[in-house]
Structures are given as structure tokens and as C-alpha cells.
Amino acid sequence: MAEQHTAEARRRRTHQVFDRLTAALITHDMAAFADEWAPDGSMEFPFAPPGWPTVSGKDAVREYLARFPDNVDIRGVRHQTRHDTGDPDTIIVEWGVTGVATSTGNPYDIDYVAIVTVGDQGITVYRDYWNPLAAAAAMGGLEDAVSAFDHGRSS
């Protein structure tokens, strides 16, 4: 019974972390967003353009996200569906955001699938599956989208 309670507490923690991520994104508080990472946690982009590396470590995540609101003004979450997994530390989230690409004024309405694993110190792995072509359309082209997020990345 204690193991089930522990698993339930871990699952609740994972959902609470994602709740805080969503709130930070909407309020453009990228420091709070990055605060959810474990010191050695990573942010991975499996569908990103070639050469786009994994962002490794809380400080690198903080640097990577620091200017996100300068490039994209997220104004809301259009939808969000969470799926629990067999691992209480991992959830799969299908979600879509709406906003504006600040450089073009174009709508930024993009769907994501995120696989998020949370440990005792925060997010250990955040796999962000997004459509780089949709981001490119909003931001004026693929090169513009890549250059908007070219700072703070590490391999």
C-alpha cells in the first residue's frame, strides 16, 4: 500500500510541475519555467531542424528560454490532454498554444506533444515534439525560426 501511495504522490508531483510550466508560459515567466528543471535535466527536440541540439542542464534551459517571449507572445493554451504512463514520473501531454510571432505579427498557433519526466529535483527529461515548419511559417521562414532560438544552446 505504501508503494501505491508513493507512486500516486510522484504522479501528482509530475502533474503539478506541468501545471506550473503552463502558468509560467502564459505569464511569460521563463525563469519560473526553467526553475522546474533538475540541475542536470534536459530539453530535447526530436522533430527540430537538423543540428538542433539537446539543451542540457538547468542553467542552459534558463539561457535557452530567456528570450522566448521576445520571439513568441504566447497568449493562451487552446487545448491540453494529459496521458499518464506506467511510470508515475512521466506524463505525455498533447497541447496547443496560441499567440503571435513578434517579429512578423503572424499567428503562432502550434500543437505539441511533450513527454515529461520529473524526478526529486525537477524535470529530468522534457522531449518536445513540435512542427518546425509551423514555427517557420509564423516566424517568417525556417532560418528566422532557427536564429530566434540559436542562443544558449549546448550539445
Q: What is the pTM of this model?
A: 0.86
CB 74 within 8 A of CB 99: yes
> How are beta strands 55-56 and 107-119 bridged, if at all?
unpaired
User: Which set of grid coordinates corresponds to residue 17?
Assistant: 510541475
Chain mean position to CA 151: 16
DSSP letter assigned to residue 53: P
pLDDT of residue 133: 84
Over the stretch 2-30, which tens digit does the pLDDT of each residue have?
Answer: 555 799 999 999 999 999 999 999 999 99
- Does 155 reside within a domain? no
- Does 52 reside within a domain? yes
Chain mean position to CA 54: 12
Please report the beta strands in 53-106, taking only residues with DSSP state E, as ranges in sequence order. 55-56, 72-84, 90-101
- Total structural domains within the chain: 1
- Does 116 reside within a domain? yes
Residues of the chain under the 70 pLDDT cut:
1-4, 141-155
- Does 97 reside within a domain? yes
User: Which set of grid coordinates corresponds to residue 45?
Assistant: 527536440
- Does 153 reside within a domain? no
Which among 91, 86, 108 has a CA at the least distance from the CA of 99? 108
Chain mean position to CA 67: 14
CATH of the domain at 114: 3.10.450.50
- Does 23 reside within a domain? yes
Helix, strand or coil, per DSSP, at residue 124: strand
pLDDT of residue 89: 98
pLDDT of residue 148: 62
- Could you list the residue range(s) of the whole structural domain that residue 72 is in? 2-148
